Amino acid sequence: MVAFGKKLKERQIQEWQGYYINYKVMKKKVKEYADQIQAGALNQRYVLKDFSRMLDKEIEKVVLFLLEQQGVFARRISQLNEQQDSLQEQPDISKVTELREAYRNVGRDLLKLLFFVEINAIGLRKILKKFDKRFGYKFTDYYVKTRANHPYSQLQQVFNNVGLGAVVGAISRNLADLQDREGSYLSIYDQPALPLQDSVVDSMEAAIDRLSYSTNFLNFSVQRSLIMLEELPSPVEEHADDQRYHFMSLLLNLANTFLYMINTYIVVPTADDYSMSLGAAATVCGIVIGAMAVAQVFSSVYFSAWSNRSYFRPLVFSSIVLFVGNVMYALAYDLKSIPVLLIGRIFCGLGSARAVNRRYISDCVPLKIRMQASAGFVSASALGMACGPALAGLLQTNFKIYKLTFNQDTLPGWVMAFAWLLYLIWLWISFREPAQETDEVNNFSQIANAENDALERGVVQPLLLNSVGAEQDNEGGQEGDGSEEAQEESRRPANSIVEAYRLLTPSVKVQLLIYFMLKYAMEVLLSESSVVTTYYFSWSTSTVAIFLACLGLTVLPVNILVGSYISNIFEDRQILLASEIMVCLGILLSFQVIIPYSVPQYVCSGLLMFVSAEVLEGVNLSLLSRVMSSRLSRGTYNGGLLSTEAGTIARVIADVTITLAGYLGQSKLLNVTLLPSLLICIASIFATCRTYNSLY
């Protein structure tokens, strides 16, 4: 993990050093507690009481200083308001300019205070997490609930920003009033959609956004995107991201995600018919669908490595390979060749650039909009998943042009080939390759030194004064090791899959098992839907497409429900276990037993399984993003890649299972494929219970 203690000390504002939480002392205290409990000198009850008292004092110190500074800002703004009132009677352009600069100076000083609150909030969360990890208590839950819900709560002053938000609002309003609005008498409250063009206000709003720590739909979507975000980026890194960001390039990355998900699921309703038209069994559809996932296991790695050097070239390569793969998929019908069909789907999997899409958002999108971009990534994936089967349902026609056949089997390939060709042209015209990160950081440093900006003097430089001799806080357990080698080791990304796997804690491994399970169950449900519904209910391709599209459309509403409401009522661990049980129940209800298999049973059990898996995926990735080692937030072998590989391998195994089960006959396909899903689900439930019981 990144050495937070060292980072905290480096970034403290010198004149405020005595008002930060004493992270170093609290960390040592936790270690002393552990040693004394092991020696039998202390009991657990005393430790909880003593540590709670220590945290209360540290938080009170921060809050009292925060309130004092808010009073200082209130007085400064009040004095400036008096000057502004006098200018209403005797306007003076030079004094207006001076007054606007004075308000900006207040804003720059406020940025220092916002950063002070942010770094204390992060330190508090980290020491609570360290205490829980060391002792296996639910201390964080107890402490936050008892302190946050109390009428005299000081903890709320740290995690909420009502007072600071009011100061930001006062500065923004007065700057807007002083801005030339061409004779308009409207204020910012009358025209909320009209933004105030001022860099100081933008910086304050971005800092306020970072202070928000409540779970909501946007945060929930970010965690689902598998984009591991750094908790405390430096101002230099933030500015570099601003320079590298290009809106159209971000849009092209999201479009790539959307088209790829359509490409994945557009063949699901017709894969069994296509296989039979080429002389194979209907259950070969499992291999046809899964071939794309097989190739994606390898493409995720080389695309992740390629994105270290470029974003444009991997996206071009992806588009070309996907174009070729879809053309081969469509031509297999007239060539009467199963190998061509499978090779076409393999090419489609080799063009999976989702690692590049994630990496672009993580590396090139500014922090202030990175959350929205990550939510857009999840939304684009969900919409593509719903649009794929729906589009297949619309392609119900049959005609020939020369020797090429266009029907419900081949049209998905032709349509996607044309879509990727259009995307390639758009990409070539509009994408802008971001400059290398090191160049941008160097350029920013030169600009900052040349201009001697007041904000940099006030915020950035004091944060770098104490770098010499700072304590080493290696979260991974290297206590007290201040060597440069140890510091570099704590920041170095994993350089292989094996090394990345070794960084996983038991709880992370359990959550990857859960991810594997839910992807396996969902793939079985989706991939065999056409075969099962045709055998039991004689559904047409259009009916299957409508059913799958309806399942896909539940993704966003489920995210909103869980992210905005359920996660604010229940703990993530509770939702996790409940969702696993509901998935297990959905699998059990899907089995075909003595009674005849009916449409209501299939639809209700499938909907229960799919929606529960969606809830489980969101909560699981939410937890995963918080406990994953920060060494896995960067580099080729990052946390997003590991999670993607776990899910992709699950899809491959599920599709192979469908094909192998087909040799037993379609009458046994449903139960044979559901049995492994049930066993894996039960195993994940037991692993979850055992892991969280031992930790909490």
pLDDT by residue (tens digit) across 668-680?
A: 999 999 999 999 9
* Spatial separation of the C-alpha atoms in residues 617 and 383, rounded to whole Å: 16
Determine contact, residues 433/246, Cβ cutoff 8 Å: no
Name the amino acid, one letter, at 570. F
Determine contact, residues 5/472, Cβ cutoff 8 Å: yes
The structure tokens listed for 11 are 């970034």
Q: pTM surpassing 0.75?
A: no
Q: What is the pLDDT of residue 265?
A: 92
Determine contact, residues 358/226, Cβ cutoff 8 Å: yes
DSSP-assigned letter for residue 401: E
Q: Shortest CA distance to 683 belongs to which of 509, 438, 552, 560?
A: 509
User: Cα–Cα–Cα angle for 621, 622, 628, nearest 5°?
Assistant: 75
DSSP-assigned letter for residue 406: E
Q: Please report which residue ranges of 562-665 form alpha helices under DSSP H.
A: 567-569, 572-590, 599-627, 639-661
Positions of the chain with pLDDT under 70: 1-12, 89-92, 136-138, 141, 144-145, 148-169, 179-244, 367-368, 371, 436-491, 563-564, 567-568, 622, 625-631, 633-635, 692-696
Query: CB burial class (10 A; 0-12, 13-18, 19+) of residue 402?
Result: exposed
Q: Identify the residue whose tokens are 């190739």.
A: 295
Q: What is the pLDDT of residue 403?
A: 85
Alpha carbon of residue 460 to chain centroid = 28
DSSP-assigned letter for residue 17: G
Q: What is the pLDDT of residue 184?
A: 40
Q: Shortest CA distance to 293 belongs to which of 661, 653, 631, 621?
A: 653
* Spatial separation of the C-alpha atoms in residues 510 and 401, rounded to whole Å: 53
Query: CB burial class (10 A; 0-12, 13-18, 19+) of residue 397?
Result: exposed
Backbone phi and psi for residue 314, each to the nearest 5 degrees, phi listed first? -60, -35
Q: What is the pLDDT of residue 157?
A: 61
CA distances from residue 541 to 384, 432, 548 in whole angstroms, order as listed: 19, 41, 11
* Spatial separation of the C-alpha atoms in residues 365 and 237, rounded to whole Å: 11
* Spatial separation of the C-alpha atoms in residues 202 and 172, rounded to whole Å: 10
* Spatial separation of the C-alpha atoms in residues 356 and 318, rounded to whole Å: 10
CA distances from residue 240 to 174, 208, 222, 453, 464 in whole angstroms, order as listed: 30, 20, 21, 16, 18
Q: What is the pLDDT of residue 447?
A: 38
